[in-house]
Chain A
Amino acid sequence: MLSQQDMLEAERHGKQVRSIYVYEAPVRLWHWINALCMVVLAVTGYFIGKPLPTVPGEAAENFLLGYIRFAHFAAAYIFAVGLVGRVYWAFVGNHHARQIFKLPIFNGQWWSEVFFELRWYLFLEKTPKKYVGHNPMAQLMMFFFFTVLAIGMLFTGFALYSEGAGVGSWQDSLFGWVIPALGGSLQVHNVHRLGMWIMMTFAAIHIYAAIREDIMSRQSLISTMISGWRMFKD
């Protein structure tokens, strides 16, 4: 997981096979399903808070917001089940599958590499390091802006869903406490919406960083999430 180790591993492999199997099939599958869910959730969620212009005709003949909400809830369930499955895979998968769930915060070397990556992104380092999994900076960002945030979105989301599901539903039993804890239903709506914006902002950074590193750090990133193999270009 550490860069020195990774670099040695990478270079040793680079001379021989020039590629390493990083992301196992369930992780890759989850990544793309999750990405799709997030797009659906963000778009439908935006229009639940600020609905589209009024549709003409009778109420009985239309179900526009109903369908939008259905898509939101369906995608949310897939997102939730996916995340649970992903947590399971963190236990049974390879060590790269655990990266976004735990940070080696007591490891000084790891922290120094976080700052190395920060300098690299600030153009203060001329050459990037190579990593088999996430680089430490990416890992830090993934942990807070995906894992923690996604769990927060699940809790607030299911709390809001419990309002419709009703008192005594399992959503209410498990997540209903979130509503008074955050100061009421309206607060939970606002927090959930703010979470969406943070998630989308992070997604933009994630995509940009992946494309940039793919070009700049001489190793594959995007194709790795499709094939599972990290290719080192030199």
Chain B
Amino acid sequence: MTETFYEVLRRQGITRRSFLKFCSLTATSLGLGTSAAPTIAHALENKPRTPVLWLHGLECTCCSESFIRSAHPLTKDVVLSMLSLDYDDTLMAAAGHQAEAILDEVKKKYKGNYIVAVEGNPPLNEDGMFCIQGGRPFVEKLRETCADAKAIISWGACASYGCVQAAKPNPTRATPVHKVITGKPIINVPGCPPIAEVMTGVVTYMLTFDRIPELDRQGRPKMFYGQRIHDKCYRRGHFDAGQFAEAWDDEGARKGYCLYKMGCKGPTTYNACSSMRWNGGVSWPVQSGHGCIGCSEDGFWDKGSFYDRVTSITPFGAESNADSIGQAAAGTVGAAIAAHAAVTALARARQSNAHGQPEKQGENQ
């Protein structure tokens, strides 16, 4: 009835040699070691392909752009074949009623046995009218499609946290997937976009082992989001040494010093950029000389400047940061103490003038 991944790959002209290379590369990138490669190969050779329905809500398609550039699990064609990507508005050939019919078909045929990958998020204001697909709100389509899914993958910062469309004041009430869909395993794969190999890695893991990867407190796969950018940054040595770029064109910037003072969010961002890098390992933001902006963190648009470390917080509506609030408080209290001390001294002096013996005041009570 359904083909296995291997059959599809061979049909598409992928050699067995390339297939096995892919298996060992995937095993290594999942942190399983090369001994897991035969397991992956076996799974891909024998298991029927799990259909993946890829939905697009409010988003910019950067996740898809990233995904189709995945370098290590072979080429984009292979990745797409491997996935059995049965529905994807932006990539599929079908359109209109034909396309929408596939959703129903997969839902019936593979009930409880397909994966929904969500790129973007549903806006909830005005009954979801800010994102209409096929004549109805995206949130309805999302709920229906997820109802019979085995698991849900939230691609990117949009689906995981809300991203820019959920930034204050969030006029459309764009809401992350896990706050709309409950009762299903949801894997958050944040980033704007996530790294291509992270995306294919998550999918490959799920197809190979038939279970979702181990997740952390925020629902992210531990294998890719277990450490901060900072922990694996090749400029970390300069951080510990106390060597920083203090301007974009200074000596420190030329020497490749730590970008902490330029507002790098590496120490507060969980992602795999510093170990896996981007575009097939060519480079990544810090390597190109710009600090991390923390795109895989919850609400990163609302956390102040990308170029400060002690960033803005808005406790009373006014833009401020911990240091300016703290210094203002300390300054005010310092001045108050000085004034209080002065008044105390004055009152004491007046008392001693009046009575001659201020020491005896307490005794009379």
* Chain A residues at the B interface, C-beta cutoff of 8 Å: 49-55, 58-66, 68-69, 121, 123, 126-128, 130, 163-164, 166-167, 176-177, 179-180, 183-187, 189-191, 193-194, 196-198, 200-201, 204-205, 208, 212, 216-218, 233-234
Within 8 Å CB of A52, what residues of B?
242
Task: Check if A197 sits within 8 Å of B242, measured CB to CB.
Answer: no
Q: Complex formed: what's the CA distance from A123 to B350 in Å?
A: 13
Name the 3 nearest CB pairs between A and B, nearest first.
A197-B326, A64-B242, A185-B268
Within 8 Å CB of A197, what residues of B?
322-323, 325-327, 329-330
- Cβ 8 A contact of A54, one of B242, B310, B340, B348: B242
Chain A residue at minimum C-beta to C-beta distance from B260: A51
With A49-B310, A54-B244 already in contact, the answer to whether A194 and B326 are too (CB < 8 A) is yes
Within 8 Å CB of B242, what residues of A?
51-52, 54-55, 62-66, 68
Q: Complex formed: what's the CA distance from A183 to B299 in Å?
A: 8
User: Which secondary structure characterizes the binding site on chain B?
Assistant: helix
Which of B327, B329, B330, B362 has most A Cβ within 10 Å? B362
| Interface assignment of B243: CB less than 8 Å from any CB of chain A | yes
Return B269 CB to nearest CB of chain A, in Å: 7
Task: Check if A184 sits within 8 Å of B298, measured CB to CB.
Answer: yes
B181-217 residues with Cβ-Cβ distance < 8 A to A are: 216-217
Chain A residue at minimum C-beta to C-beta distance from B303: A186
Task: Check if A123 sits within 8 Å of B257, measured CB to CB.
Answer: no
Selecting from B60-68, B108-116, B223-231, the interface stretch reads B223-231
Which of B269, B311, B322, B343 has most A Cβ within 10 Å? B322
Q: Complex formed: what's the CA distance from A164 to B268 in Å?
A: 11
Task: Check if A204 sits within 8 Å of B334, measured CB to CB.
Answer: yes
With A127-B365, A187-B303 already in contact, the answer to whether A193 and B243 are too (CB < 8 A) is no
Query: Could you jot down 13 A-B contacts, CB within 8 Å?
Result: A49-B310, A50-B309, A55-B243, A65-B240, A66-B242, A123-B347, A127-B365, A163-B267, A167-B216, A167-B227, A183-B298, A197-B326, A197-B327
Chain A residue at minimum C-beta to C-beta distance from B310: A49
* Chain B residues at the A interface, C-beta cutoff of 8 Å: 216-218, 222, 226-228, 231, 237-244, 246, 252, 257, 260-261, 265, 267-270, 294, 297-299, 303, 309-311, 313, 321-323, 325-327, 329-330, 333-334, 337, 340-341, 343-344, 347-348, 359-365
Q: Complex formed: what's the CA distance from A193 to B312 in Å?
A: 12
Task: Check if A185 sits within 8 Å of B217, measured CB to CB.
Answer: no
With A186-B311, A194-B326, A196-B326 already in contact, the answer to whether A59 and B217 are too (CB < 8 A) is no
Task: Check if B241 sits within 8 Å of A63, measured CB to CB.
Answer: yes
Within 8 Å CB of A53, what residues of B?
246
Task: Check if A208 sits within 8 Å of B325, measured CB to CB.
Answer: no
Task: Check if B359 sits within 8 Å of A234, measured CB to CB.
Answer: yes
Task: Check if B326 sits within 8 Å of A193, measured CB to CB.
Answer: yes
Q: Complex formed: what's the CA distance from A177 to B238 in Å?
A: 30
Q: Complex formed: what's the CA distance from A65 to B237 in Å?
A: 10
With A183-B299, A212-B344, A217-B362 already in contact, the answer to whether A63 and B240 are too (CB < 8 A) is yes
